[in-house]
Structure 1
């Protein structure tokens, strides 16, 4: 599906786009799943590792009232197939895939908002002048080595837990507030707000992500210390982020002195679920 940013989009089902990117082994085809709706200036939404585009569901319709919103399943996550054999899951390769998707959809240079891994990718797109504005929610890359090891260890533990639980057990846990707390309290401060269906779907997305281990491997040496200049940048951090501690936001501000640093009171690592209205306002304010 290819569409221009000037037209209105009421599509809320998941579509896919295929295009070529350069890899160490030459040009290879990539397919990326996405959901698109709304009208106005284009806004690209990027989820975190082990998640999927439905992470943005709590804010998607709010944003689509003002923007042509495109929520993406990153390669190897959600409904997007793995990258071609031999293509690394590093920043340059995934940025190339996102650039190819934007070209295929005819959106040019979009506003970009990302969470966690998606926040790091959003900042990289901004640094490469491939974004009009950047909103990074608890972005990766501003950790100390000890903080990175802690976060990666927690993520690997979550992945292992998702793989060990049979589907009936996941479904049973998701039906109670206590079960949703057990499954998702690492990333949400208010896990009871998440629907049982959403918790099942994201647990399966974590379990089945083909790009998970390779993305973690590629992230071991990532430290983002570059300034992102010439465009509006907001870094927002949940005060109850248990995965990437909010002091990392202070490091982000040192690296990017002109960026706006915003506290998200009472929000966890994936704040879109904890306070949709606040997160949507932060994204829209940045993109204005």
Structure 2
């Protein structure tokens, strides 16, 4: 992997081919994509970014705008700084919601989403989501003193990551520790984003390919939301991820790579079609 290049957001660019921007979920960091990035980079130029207030990016500074508008502007500025003209985008959770917003705003040529946020039933279900992240951040904060020892073993990693993935024990100890510390550091941004949460209710031009994939064992954005997404986005390709949790990249590498490559296997608008080996 190439070294980090910092512009608007901390990021990495890996591989060659059509550009595919990967956006992580709330409280996570760009390293969430590491299990799949090398495989993707055989076919795409992959751009991994840290969202504001996450990873190594600058803090998320609240202003008077809705949070989705703030994140849209940051994404658009980052595309311009990186000389990306309507790239393909893929995102998980909050990143999936950002990808859908980008598609609705005609900023991208395709959007592939893994459990995108915004399809809960109502305020009660949103309270559940909020409670999950309060529990996650609280547990991560309390666990800091013992985290290195806890995450040294596969059962410890599986227990620590159990709400997010079904096979957290497959993470390397240093990756799990980085995720835990990153979650704690992202608490201010997480609170701001959740406070501004609202359902996704926009239309996306059918000419922009959209894929929505959902893990059957998602404990954060419960799998019933896949059905709501199917109704809200009838022109999208809808995919089930059997046995996968909310962050599925470690749960089934082959399946997630396949979904991301197929979802971005379209010519960029204004470009000629390209081949995938």
State whether TM-score is above 0.5.
yes
Task: State the partner residue of 1:285.
Answer: 262
Alpha-carbon offset, residue 159 of structure 1: 0.5
Alpha-carbon offset, residue 277 of structure 1: 1.3
Distance 1:34 1:206 in 2: 18
Tell me, yes or no, if structure 1 residue 243 matches structure 2 residue 232.
no
Give the match's secondary structure for 1:162.
Answer: helix
Q: For structure 2, which runs of at least 5 residues remain unmatched after alignment? A: 266-277
- Tell which deviates more after alignment, 263-272 or 172-181: 172-181
Tell me, yes or no, if structure 1 residue 166 matches structure 2 residue 144.
yes
Contact 2:156 2:169 in 1 (8 A): no
Task: State the partner residue of 1:231.
Answer: 208
TM-score by length of 1: 0.88
Alpha-carbon offset, residue 272 of structure 1: 0.7
TM-score by length of 2: 0.91
Distance 1:260 1:85 in 2: 34
Choose which of 13, 17, 22 in structure 2 pairs with 1:36. Answer: 13
Q: For structure 1, which runs of at least 5 residues remain unmatched after alignment? A: 1-9, 19-31
Tell me, yes or no, if structure 1 residue 64 matches structure 2 residue 54.
no
Task: State the partner residue of 1:148.
Answer: 126
Alpha-carbon offset, residue 87 of structure 1: 6.2
Alpha-carbon offset, residue 265 of structure 1: 0.8
Give the match's secondary structure for 1:237.
Answer: strand
Give the match's secondary structure for 1:244.
Answer: coil
Distance 1:187 1:88 in 2: 30
Task: State the partner residue of 2:75.
Answer: 98
- Tell which deviates more after alignment, 34-43 or 116-125: 34-43
Distance 2:168 2:159 in 1: 9
Distance 2:144 2:166 in 1: 25
Alpha-carbon offset, residue 100 of structure 1: 0.5
The two structures, once aligned, show a CA RMSD in angstroms of 1.3
Distance 1:280 1:80 in 2: 26
Q: Deviations over 1:42-86 (max 9, x none)?
A: 111000000000000001111111111101100011111113463
Choose which of 10, 18, 22 in structure 2 pairs with 1:45. Answer: 22
Choose which of 198, 207, 222 in structure 1 pairs with 2:175. Answer: 198
Q: Deviations over 1:144-199 (max 9, x none)?
A: 122221111011111011112234x0011101122112210000111111111111
What is the aligned length? Answer: 262
Give the match's secondary structure for 2:7.
Answer: strand
- 1:107-146 matches, cutoff 5 A: 107-145=84-122, 146=124
